[in-house]
Amino acid sequence: MEEIRYQQRICRDEGRVTEFLTSMRVGTLALYSEGEPYAVPLNYLWTEGKLYFHGLASGRKEKILQENPQICFNVHKEYGTVKDDMPCHADTAYFSVTMFGKAVPVDDAEEKAAAMQAFVEKYMPGYYKKPLTAELMRNYKSGHDGRTVQVYKIVPETITAKENSATKEELFNK
């Protein structure tokens, strides 16, 4: 793994990284297959040092993950453009996290149900009256095309965070 070159931008505060990953809603999953990169934005769940995502058990993403489970996952947020009197010195305020690892299918129905329940609570808190069960996850078929839902888990092998913070006064505001 290559070191981050711009050392002063590294964030080593695990609490801030965890809060950021927990609060954000969309990340980009990057894959590689047959000589081509493929990146797809998706909803995710960060819990207990693991990242979960889900989707239909079909399609390009599923095919690539079966062939090559190595992934890169990135979550970022831009806060604005940092002003400078010299045009070439303008910068961007941001926070980003990048992780590398393997995407492993979650086959255990209890773990799958717990992950999907956590997704429901993250994206639609309080909407459903009953919690998801392992039995439901074993038998659930998508209304989209009747296929099963696949849940993946990533335990990061490497995780890095970078930031460039700025005050409101330092940001360009048109």
Q: Is the pLDDT of residue 170 over 60?
A: yes
Q: SS3 for the chain, per residue?
A: CCCCCCHHHECCCHHHHHHHHHHCCEEEEEEEECCEEEEEEEECEEECCEEEEEEECCCHHHHHHHHCCEEEEEEEEEEEEECCCCHHHCEEEEEEEEEEEEEEECCCHHHHHHHHHHHHHHHCCCCCCCCCCHHHHHHCCCCCCCCCEEEEEECCCEEEEEEECCCHHHECCC
Q: Is the pLDDT of residue 1 over 60?
A: no
**Could you read off the pLDDT of 5-18 as tens digits, one per residue?**
767 788 999 999 99
Return the CATH number of the domain spanning residue range 7-53+60-107+150-165: 2.30.110.10
pLDDT of amino acid 43: 97
Question: Average pLDDT for residues 5-33, to the nearest whole number?
Answer: 93
User: Domain residue spans in the chain?
Assistant: 7-53+60-107+150-165
Q: Cα–Cα distance between 71 and 68 in angstroms, integer?
A: 8
pLDDT of amino acid 142: 65
Q: Identify which has the larger pLDDT, 57 or 27.
A: 27
Mean pLDDT of the chain: 91
pLDDT of amino acid 138: 82
pTM strictly above 0.75: yes
pLDDT of amino acid 39: 97
**Could you read off the pLDDT of 93-106 as tens digits, one per residue?**
999 999 999 999 99
